[in-house]
Amino acid sequence: MRASTTSVALGLLTAAANAAPFKTSTVKRQDSGKVVAAHFMIGIMETRSSAADYDEDMKKAKAAGIDAFALNIAKDDYTDAQLNYAYESAANNDMKVFISFDYNYFETGENEAVGAKLKEYCAKPGQLTVDGKCFASSFNGDTDPSKLFNANTIRAAAGTDLYLVPNLSPTGIRDASAVGDIDGSFNWIGWDSNGANRAPTADANVTTSDFDAKYTEWLAGKTYMAPVSPWFFTNFASKAWVFPGDLLWFRRWNEILALAPQMIEIITWNDYGESHYVGSDSATSKHTDDGSSAWTNGFPHDGWLEMAQPYIAAYKAGSKAITVSEDKLVYWYRPTPKAACGAFDGIDTLQDAVFVVALLQSAGTVTVTSGGNTKTFDAPAGASAYQVDMGTGKQTFALSRGGADVFSATGSLEISENCSPVNLNAFVGVAKGNAAVRK
Ligand SMILES: *[C@@H]1O[C@H](CO)[C@@H](O)[C@H](O)[C@H]1NC(C)=O
């Protein structure tokens, strides 16, 4: 998303009860049709100049098991050029894409234009279809009366069967009982929160699974597109807070396997501003810099994508447990302890720790050294997570079996006491490799 309004407003507004000229789907989709999408910001792509500029993203996402990019668009003068490049690259790379209209920008009076845009893009070979229908989504669309998503108007203007899964919520200002005009809904809130778009407190704590339950009940069998996000930290002058991250990426994937929703959307592929990117590195991926490079350059997150890969495979197979095909320790940590950063909205919900997820083919011993703190864990086969109190200095992660080293790695970023400017983003790395002792 591009703006800061993700809060869920309470209220009631009766939705226009026009008869829909095109069919909505009422059939619950089967496991075999599970779809993994990833949110992709077109708004930072102004400088891309060809379909080839999107190829690396498409290839990398496809290799991880992602089916489609949700192309988040506003109304910039370069939006259509970039959409065309992205659709063309998707077709060239056997990927799919769909448009996610950002209703912080699209207005109630523009739903016809939204439908007209779909009419144009639905026909392209890169378009994601679900149950044979052109798939589309949104960010927001039910929190501001001047920026309301209207499914019936969009369907009429598109003139083709649509599968609409916008980001409307059970507590939005549309008629909360009106899910008749949509095929499902996308929940953006992938972090525990206070219910008002800030970090939770002991007294106000709405968890990711609380939201899953609300959406699932509200949708009553229609498609639920659940969010999966690793982190959230943003530090613009106009927008500065953090949601609890820590081991969220691990916990949330396990929730997803247990819940098995019809669709999931990874938040995000490349939203550097909010630090929840899992795709390409901000320093090397071609995009315009809105100032977020201050907390993203030098902070790779693609280790999180590697960690997600076996979870994506399990989710698509309808399995509750992952299959590990290579031993890995995926690790992450903030660059500084909290005390060095001072007051920052939500900072109290973070722990001063380094985090490790072990993905193991057989049981092993995980040793983590964070500065002067060393801890050793007996890790079982499969996925398991650990944390160690943060110490300044080097961060080292090692796997051994039967007393013999398998591999170890030291993060290229040391933890320091320098938190100026405040950076609560995570540095993510992966320890793996073929040591001689490995059987
Ligand atoms: C919110 O609830 C979750 C689940 O019980 C818990 O893990 C988390 O620590 C809570 N957060 C706060 C700030 O109390």
What is the secondary structure of 109-163 as a DSSP string?
A: GGHHHHHHHHHHHTTSTTB-EETTEEEEEEE--SS-TTS---HHHHHHHH-S-EE
For atom 3 of ligand 1, the residue with the nearest CA is: 207
For atom 5 of ligand 1, the residue with the nearest CA is: 207
Q: How far is CA 102 from CA 111, 174, 368, in A?
A: 12, 17, 42
Q: Is the CB of 209 under 6 A from ligand 1?
A: no
At residue 180, the pLDDT reads 85
Q: Is the CB of 200 under 6 A from ligand 1?
A: yes
Q: Are strands 263-266 and 223-228 parallel, antiparallel or unpaired?
A: parallel
Closest by CA position to 330, among listed 300, 362, 312, 306: 306
CA 180 and chain centroid, separation: 27
User: Among the atoms of ligand 1, which is closest to the Cα of residue 348?
Assistant: 13
Contacts 24+ apart (CB under 8 A), 195-203: 195/8, 196/7, 197/4, 197/5, 197/6, 197/7, 198/241, 198/243, 198/345, 198/346, 199/241, 199/242, 199/243, 199/244, 199/345, 199/346, 199/348, 199/349, 200/244, 200/349
Q: Inter-axis angle of helices 248-259 and 208-219, to 10 degrees?
A: 30
Q: Is the CB of 303 under 6 A from ligand 1?
A: no
CATH number of 23-323: 3.20.20.80
Phi, psi of 365, deg, nearest 5: -110, 125
CATH number of 328-438: 2.60.40
Range(s) within the chain of domains with CATH label 3.20.20.80? 23-323
Closest by CA position to 273, among listed 232, 309, 308: 232
CA 6 and chain centroid, separation: 14
At residue 179, the pLDDT reads 85
14 upstream amide cis, omega within 30 of 0: no
Q: Is the CB of 126 under 6 A from ligand 1?
A: no
Give the Å distance between the CA of 191 and the centre of ligand 1: 11
For atom 13 of ligand 1, the residue with the nearest CA is: 201
Q: Is the CB of 205 under 6 A from ligand 1?
A: yes
Q: 95-115: b or e for each residue (b if 16 or more CB lie within 10 Å)?
A: bbbbbbbbbbbbeeebbebbb
CA 190/CA 162 separation, integer angstroms: 26
421 upstream amide cis, omega within 30 of 0: yes
CA 300/CA 157 separation, integer angstroms: 42
At residue 32, the pLDDT reads 54
User: Among the atoms of ligand 1, which is closest to the Cα of residue 201?
Assistant: 13
Consecutive 10-residue runs of the chain (439 residues): their mean pLDDT? 35 29 43 86 98 98 98 98 98 98 98 98 98 97 95 96 96 76 97 97 97 95 97 97 98 98 98 97 95 97 98 97 97 98 98 98 98 98 98 98 95 97 98 61
Number of helices (H), then strands (E), in the chain: 8, 19
Residues 6 or more apart whose CB falls under 8 angstroms from that of 357 comprise 247, 249, 250, 307, 329, 330, 331, 383, 384, 385, 386
In sequence order, the β-bridge partners of residue 254 are: none
For atom 14 of ligand 1, the residue with the nearest CA is: 202
